[in-house]
Structure 1
Amino acid sequence: MASSNFIDYVKINAKSGAGGAGSMHFRREKHVEKGGPDGGDGGRGGHVILRGNTQLWTLLHLKYTKHVKAFNGVNGEGGRRTGAEGKDIVLEVPLGTIARMAETGEQVCEITEDGQEIILLKGGRGGLGNDHFKSATNQTPQHAQPGEPGREEWVILELKVLADVGLVGFPNAGKSTLLSAVSAAKPEIADYPFTTLVPNLGVVPYRDFRSFVMADIPGIIEGASQGKGLGIRFLRHIERNSILLFMIPADTEDILAEYHTLLEELKLYNPSLLDKDRLLAISKMDLIPEEFRDEIKDKLPEGISTIFISAITQEGIEQLKDYIWSRINTTLDVK
């Protein structure tokens, strides 16, 4: 995914259609001296609808769509003819998209399934024709309802990447290297911080033609929950991952301290993230001589399963995939 093509935040002005006016009409036919009211109802205004699409992975197609407007309903006519409904406007969005009102910050909906449709802004109701207002005491009603106006709102669409496994770690922890080693994804890899500026998704093949999705998410730094570094842009993508795979390089001075720093940033951003299944991978084991491995084992955090891996030598990669697959299916069974 090129960084110029990955857009995970757009703000648009959306307006639903107004309802058509009801008709004030009276039956007029030859040989019918006093026809009664027969005004039809107005059609409803068009909705603004969000629809999930698995073929999309970014909001790029909406980046320059600043205004969307559904069509108005058609006015009712005589002969109790109802006006046509206004045409809806459907915005296709990738799975993991949430919508919230820009003014209040209120979350309106989230799209998590292919083909899922949610009405973002309802069109105005059509007005009732005068046929509805006749009675025994008023057989020639001289009024009909106007249509309801449409709604107009500034709406923020945000994408949270949907993946089975999210890679969590400081910059240069080896996340992109791991993703490129286990999938066909080709993220940019270099020896400097924040090589990864946008999430990268890779489909990891598993035994018997099975697979799962892994997300390489931009590296966290201390203070990310307050917006430092890539800050909130990074952290929101973790919320949709089933498993969090923490990655800490084997040559880190203090593995335990780094792990707790990562945990603290997740907690400050959203405490519920700590309820997700977690696994720790000590990466870049190819850089550590055999005689120093026991020292690393003595410095590991407690209460989390740990695997030693190297994307270069493939050490521990198959065991890692086995564990992830078993945990994904355990999670699905619980749900």
Structure 2
Amino acid sequence: MLLALILVLETGYVTWFICSFIWARAISQWLVNGLDQHYVQSTSEAGIKAHANSVTLMQLLGMIVAPVYFSFFADIGWPNILLMMVLTGFITFGVWKQLQHKQSIVVPTVGVLLDQRRHKLEYQDWLFLIYVISTATGSLLFSSNAIFIVTDFYHLKHPIVQGGLLLTIMNLTAIVSVIINKRTIQIKQSMAHREVLVYSRKLVILSSVLVVQIFCLWLRPVDAYFFLVGWGIVIGYFYGLFYLFTRLLVTHLAVTENKQWVLSLYNNQSSYSVVLSSVVLLFLSIATHFAGVDMIPYILAAIAFFIISGFVVAILLRYRIHLSN
């Protein structure tokens, strides 16, 4: 709420803005993780797909609804504050109510106590988290600099409108990809290890497509905008699948192996990617300023670095899971 007040009252104190932004983000992440942890603990193996589909779809919808809403209604001030208060209160009440009926399901694991597995990160868990954060950081670098890329790299005439439309198309396509995806295999207890292999293989395939698409960004055809729209449709579709399959895998780990700590770290991956991308942008802005060169090609190089890193880590994850099984 403090962040909303600062935005509405147009307070010029940067320190207040930064502190309130961190506070608001921490609270929202805590609420999201609390709800997700509760529902995962009360989810059976048969309900993993339904839970992952629902959470992924709602998160992608939120990513597109909020920017569109504030693009048209950012200037109405106090009604926005009231709306934020109502939504925050509703979510907080939901978390509190769910915690009053908190359940724990006992999941059989071999050779490791549940309390130990809850907070223990194995090598493949680290690989999975690095993969997610790396890919999410590359995506955030693109989305946060889309207007500048469209302006300085492709030299389009209406960069704000065209860049906003490109991001909207990507987000809509990501939502559609989650809705129409019906091919995920239902999990059975006897197939738990095989399902992890299936998900890890899908992550390798998705990462390879993202790598190819990132290199396509360096192409500058004559009709650049239609090229970008086509590129956005493809990348949006596979980005939606990236979110869906990573959510399926982390929910599978939390339900079948009681790895709630991995789920908590996954739920906070957006915060890690924000920090990491901000550090990269700060370094690039300082370096290119003193070097006197254009920053955009280096941003594209940074995007490619994180996407390729995610691809390499996905291969390592697939190999590690194959060995462990």
Query: Which TM-score applies when normalising by structure 2?
Result: 0.22
Query: When you count strand as a share of all residues, which structure comes out higher?
Result: 1
Query: When you count helix as a share of all residues, which structure comes out higher?
Result: 2
The structure with the larger Rg is 1
